[in-house]
Amino acid sequence: MAREECKALLDALNRTTACYHHLVLTVGGSADSQNLREELQKTRQKAHELAVATGARLTGALRDKSLAAEERAEFERLWVAFSGCLDLLEADMQRALALGSAFPLNAPRRPLVRTGVAGAASAVAARALSARSLRHEAEHDFDVADLQELEREVLQVGEMIQDMEMKVNVPRWTVQARQAAGAELLSGASAGASSAGGMSVEERSGPCDPSKALAATLFSAVLLAAVALAVCVAKLS
Amino acid sequence: MAAGGRARAQRPNLDKMERMVVSMQDPDEGVKMRSQRLLITVIPHAVAEALHLGALLVRHGYLYPLRDPRSLALRPDETPYRFQTPYFWASTVWPASELDYAIYLAKRSIQRRGALLDHEKGCAPRIWQEHYDQLQWKISHAWDLVVTQAREQLRAMKQRRRGDRLVITCQEQAYWLVNRPPPGVPNVLEQGPERGSCAASRLQTCKSLDFYKWEIEYARKALGRNRLKSSVCLEAYLKFSSQRGPHDPILSGCLPSNPWVTDDDTYWAVNAPTAATPTRLRVERWGFSFQELLEDPVGRAHFMDFLEKEFSAENLSFWEACEQLRYGGQAQVPALVDAVYQQFLAPGAARWVNIDSRTMERTLAGLCRPHRYVLDDAQLHIYMLMKKDSYPRFLKSDMYKGLLTEATVPVETKRRVFPFMRKPRHCSPSPALPTAGPGGGGED
């Protein structure tokens, strides 16, 4: 169905954007290298393809006048998420362009900032491209040629955003997000970076103290037991 | 939300700081670095230096301390610091958007399992919870995106080594401390009111043909601009001030009295645009410049009388008709142009004006397509003619001299506030210092 397809594309785009964000974080730092620039390029191209595909599907769906009201609401929700994601991607691409030109890899008088990040990021890029691993095959002066391409792509993404805004009119304030506040806490166990496997908070009513909840349940259990005992004693006597 | 390549003025202090940070990295001349052991991870490139400049760098977020990550202050002891990645430098990402902040808080919230409140002591983590709730309300439509991005970013981070993960978390924390400082900490990124200076470097990503064409045009216009020496300018300014000083009601008081002080609006009645008898000051003003004379309706009427005596009144009529064309309605333009042509410009017209042949040719050519500015050249020619020729004669004429002597000088009303005050207070107090002038400059 069109909706599931759009959702899947949007999830992939979100994943690629997050990975791109991670890779751009390290540009100019101590982990910057030819490989990183190449990974950036591949991730960016994948993100661009996904964005174009998702945009086409969503635009097609929303311009269809014969859509039911709740389907349209669903598509509008996806649209808002998509345009936000595209904005993030464009901002990251612009920053990558600025940083890439400010920190060229082969210039002797402009050393990279030593930030303490030393590892390779190929696993991140592999996750973005949904590939098992990544092969690096760029030639020596790759980053200079890449910058011009990046410039063009930034302009393309900007045009795409404008185009989308012209074609479809979705007022942002009418869209209700599906995830309620605090929804990120569910499935928090799988996304947490720290290793301690604690309990995930079930309650959605803000940050309530788990110890307080435990004390309340214990107290009520004790109270029930006392009441049951009293009833038994009363029955027996 | 789209930034769209808008030019952003780089703040020069950030620029200098960045250059310094980059030069600190130089392996030959830069700062000494040593590795730091953190539990079982070895993180290279920690720095231990302390200067005032260092304190500035820390406060703006180019360095961050490792021991006490919550406070961005430089301490003179041996605490290690680390450089911030260029992505988070103040000039690249500024201004930080609400969406990014929301994603960051969501990530922290997931990592700490729903409790943004830290149990370590530090500065007000409660404020983060408040911010988080506020953001949920402000950008609730984008909350899906916030949650998805937070989850995806955390998953992407898991692909890195543990050491790198710690470093990146510290970097982000330091960045948000600079950009969303907790209450009580001054915001270093605050800018004063916009200066509107576009002399700062523009971030042009694409220098296209249009950009160069614009630049050439701009430079050409700048070359052709009239350059005036400041000495000449200042002289003109001084002359203007000394000439106009006595005429200014605030500087030299106004006769008969200041309406705001005495509630008597004689002053306004006497100086109304269509007053019958002009005041002396007003008549004197007509002598300052031709523009003054024409702008004053009474002056214009007297000038018209004078021109009729000299048999050149059609000049002023033509000028007035052109003004009407310029400022009139669009629908009347063709009819008015036609009327003006018939009356003033046609070869055998009743009130033919004397324009030189070149201007006449141009005007006649333009009359084929009438618009409201088609008579501009002719109007200017007639204006200069009047200014150079008729106006000086008017000022020397008997009519003008007669007007000057006839003009009234209103009497200043004396105000007695208290019956037992000996000296009457001035009824048009001037805030200027006491100078010699009509009505005095006595302070109240």
pLDDT in tens, B406-423: 888 888 777 656 666 555
> What's the whole-number average pLDDT of chain B?
77
Q: B1 to chain A nearest CA, in Å?
A: 7
Higher pLDDT, B427 or B292: B292
| B352-369 pLDDT, tens digit each | 998 999 999 999 999 988
A192 touches chain B (CB under 8 A): yes
pLDDT computed for residue B438 by the predictor:
46
The reply to whether residue B145 touches residue A81, judged by beta carbons under 8 angstroms, is: yes
The reply to whether residue B109 touches residue A185, judged by beta carbons under 8 angstroms, is: yes
The reply to whether residue A177 touches residue B205, judged by beta carbons under 8 angstroms, is: no
Which pTM does this prediction carry? 0.53
The reply to whether residue B46 touches residue A116, judged by beta carbons under 8 angstroms, is: yes
Among A153-157, B145-149, B207-211, B265-269, where is mean pLDDT lowest? B207-211
Q: A74 to chain B nearest CA, in Å?
A: 12
With a cut of 80, say whether residue B336 has pLDDT above it.
Answer: yes
With a cut of 60, say whether residue B300 has pLDDT above it.
Answer: yes
The reply to whether residue B114 touches residue A188, judged by beta carbons under 8 angstroms, is: yes
The reply to whether residue A193 touches residue B141, judged by beta carbons under 8 angstroms, is: no
Which residues on B lie below 8 Å from A188 (Cβ)? 110, 113-114
Which residues on B lie below 8 Å from A27 (Cβ)? 86-87
The reply to whether residue A119 touches residue B160, judged by beta carbons under 8 angstroms, is: yes
CATH topology of domain A2-107+121-175: Methane Monooxygenase Hydroxylase; Chain G, domain 1 (1.20.58)
pLDDT computed for residue B43 by the predictor:
37
For B159, the closest of A127, A183, A200 (CB atoms) is A127
11-40 in chain A: CB under 8 A from chain B: 11, 14-15, 17-19, 21-22, 24-31
A73 touches chain B (CB under 8 A): no
The reply to whether residue A191 touches residue B87, judged by beta carbons under 8 angstroms, is: no
A186 touches chain B (CB under 8 A): no
| A207-224 pLDDT, tens digit each | 456 778 888 899 999 999
Q: Which residue of B has its CA nearest to A204?
A: B114
Higher pLDDT, A136 or A51: A51
The reply to whether residue B149 touches residue A28, judged by beta carbons under 8 angstroms, is: no
| A23-78 pLDDT, tens digit each | 888 887 777 677 888 888 888 889 999 999 988 888 888 887 777 888 888 888 88
pLDDT computed for residue B69 by the predictor:
63
pLDDT computed for residue B283 by the predictor:
92
- As a three-state string, the secondary structure of chain B is CCCCCCCCCCCHHHHHHHHHHHHHCCCCCCCCCEEEEECCEEEEEEECCCCHHHHHHHHHCCEEECCCCCCCCCCCCCCCEEECCHHHCHHHHCCCCHHHHHHHHHHHHHHCCCCCCCCCCCCCCHHHHHHHHHHHHHCHHHHHHHHHHHHHHHHHHCCCCHHHHHHHHHHHHHHHHHHCCCCCCCCCCCCCCCCCCCCCCCCCCCCCHHHHHHHHHHHHHHHHCCCCCHHHHHHHHHHHHHHHHHHCHHHHCCCCCCHHHHCCCHHHHHCCCCCCCCEHHHHHHHCCCHHHHHHCHHHHHHHHHHHHHHCCHHHHHHHHHHHHHHHCCCCCHHHHHHHHHHHHHCCCCCCCCCCCHHHHHHHHHHCCCCCCCCCHHHHHHHHHHHHHHHHHHHHHCHHHHHHHHHCECCCCCCECCCCCCCCCECCCCCCCCCCCCCCCCCCC
pLDDT computed for residue B201 by the predictor:
46
Q: Which residue of A has its CA nearest to B63?
A: A115
Size of interface A-B (CB pairs under 8 A): 212
Domain ranges of chain A: 2-107+121-175
A70 touches chain B (CB under 8 A): no
The reply to whether residue A191 touches residue B154, judged by beta carbons under 8 angstroms, is: yes
